Amino acid sequence: MQRITILGATGSIGASTLDVLARHPEKYQVHALTAHGRVDELAAQCRAFRPARAVVGTAEAAQRLAQLIADLPTSVEYGAQALCDVAASPDTDTVMAAIVGGAGLAPTLAAARAGKKVLLANKEALVMSGQLFMDAVKEHKATLLPIDSEHNAIFQSLPQSYARQPGDSGVARILLTASGGPFLNRAVDTLEDVTPEEACKHPNWVMGRKISVDSATMMNKGLEVIEAHWLFGAPAEMIEVVIHPQSVIHSMVSYVDGSVVAQLGNPDMRTPIAHALAFPERIESGVGQLDLTRMASLQFHRPDYQRFPCLALAFEALRDGGTAPALLNAANEVAVQAFLDRRIGFRDIDRVIGRVMDEIAHGAAASIEAVMEQDARARAAAERVVAGLARA
């Protein structure tokens, strides 16, 4: 029996994870479920999966949840420390890290430091803490498996020898595919007028609102380049972004002999979730078999950095190193929220990030405290830029 904690159970990834778990009750048992504010949904999940512990964001939310599930054996907790506790608990083997944004860093790191099997969906956590996170995984003998569909595809396409000796494994490049999001072909001069509803309407995937906006700006791909850098120890030059609007090939690895190995499948996150849960075995995920004969065509082209300046900003942050990716991530989180709240326009997102990156000098990412300090400074600076743009 694998005992699982799901951080961010009420989100898109959280719900897909529970869907896969429900298909294999003999293999998996839910230890803890966490959510920020959606108490009713969490209560329904507790009823269905009967976890030992449930964590919410505030005392009020905890009180409501406790009332809703008073007849269950689940103990209710709240707050940041409780998230870290359920992630590091001796009663859990595996932690699905599916909180969105920097809020997920502390509990994801706590899981790594406790030597858990960490299934990483929360890419922002790794973007912020990079080397520190990977060092914690190594030091505490945690197992890190990627949930992001591209990284899961790369993981599946790499040779077994890569983890031991990446230099001798014959890998030439990592080809990170990107759908290009909803604005791949929209006239560039109309991007100023995009609404949150339009930005959240992804052509191939149904996801949370933050990652949906990130996909529309292609910051999502930028964060994924940084994520790939850390997960696979690959320098920026080795990672190539390829636009593939159909999202059927989830990413590829090319080799020195000219071979390209790819992972394909229907665009449904239950496939990478099931892969990581059962690794190295395979389990049924609920995703149907891919019917290649129904695919009209598969297209590939290079990204347009004029249309998607966020992608260029992310490559820049990766090359700058240190706390630069943490600054990028923090500014992006603030800008995306401001856009969703209709305080700034769509194109203002990259303006906010660009200005914050210019304003704040990045430093060494020597400790998590140093990273969090830079994160806080970048958020404050981004709020100031947002306020200025909102007044303009």
Shortest Å distance, C-beta 65 to ligand NAD: 12
* Residue 332 binds ligand NAD, judged by CB under 6 A: no
Q: Among 211, 213, 185, which Cα is nearest to 199's?
A: 213
Half-sphere exposure of 330 (CA within 13 A, CB side): 27
Count of other CB atoms within 10 angstroms of residue 296: 6
What phi and psi, each to the nearest 5 degrees, are found at residue 170? 80, 10
In order of 167, 214, 276, 392, the CA distances from 144 in angstroms are: 20, 24, 9, 45
Out of 57, 181, 303, 309, name the contact with ligand NAD by CB under 6 A: 57
Segment interacting with Mg ion, rule: CB under 5 A, options 52-60, 147-155, 280-288, 334-342:
147-155
Separation CA 66–CA 76 (nearest Å): 6
Q: Which is nearer to ligand NAD, 10 or 285 (CB)?
A: 10
Segment interacting with ligand NAD, rule: CB under 6 A, options 94-102, 190-198, 228-236, 287-295:
94-102
* Residue 269 binds ligand NAD, judged by CB under 6 A: yes
247 binds, among Mg ion, ligand NAD, none (CB under 5 to 8 A by kind): none
208 binds, among Mg ion, ligand NAD, none (CB under 5 to 8 A by kind): ligand NAD
Segment interacting with Mg ion, rule: CB under 5 A, options 61-69, 79-87, 144-152, 248-256:
144-152
- The residue at minimum Cβ distance from ligand NAD is 11
Find out whether 12 is annotated in a ligand binding site: yes
* Residue 36 binds ligand NAD, judged by CB under 6 A: yes
14 binds, among Mg ion, ligand NAD, none (CB under 5 to 8 A by kind): ligand NAD
Burial of 350 (0-12, 13-18, 19+ CB in 10 A): buried
- Answer whether 48's CB lies under 8 Å from 68's CB: no
- The residue at minimum Cβ distance from Mg ion is 148
Separation CA 233–CA 34 (nearest Å): 31
Separation CA 349–CA 62 (nearest Å): 34
Find out whether 237 is annotated in a ligand binding site: no
Separation CA 139–CA 326 (nearest Å): 22
DSSP letter assigned to residue 246: T
What SS3 class is residue 89?
Answer: coil
124 binds, among Mg ion, ligand NAD, none (CB under 5 to 8 A by kind): ligand NAD
Out of 95, 99, 109, 176, name the contact with ligand NAD by CB under 6 A: 99
* Residue 79 binds ligand NAD, judged by CB under 6 A: no
Order of strands, sheet of 53-56, starting from the edge strand that comes earlier in the sequence = 75-78, 53-56, 28-34, 2-7, 94-97, 117-120, 143-146
Binding-site residues for 1-deoxy-D-xylulose 5-phosphate sit at 123, 149-150, 179, 202, 215, 220-221, 224
Task: Give the footprint of Mg ion on this chain (CB under 5 A).
Answer: 148-150
Instruction: Please report, in range form, the residues annotated as the binding site.
Output: 10-13, 122-124, 148-150, 179, 202, 208, 215, 220-221, 224
Judged by the rule CB under 6 A, the positions of this chain that interact with ligand NAD are: 8-14, 35-36, 38, 57, 98-100, 103, 121-124, 148, 205, 207-208, 210-211, 269
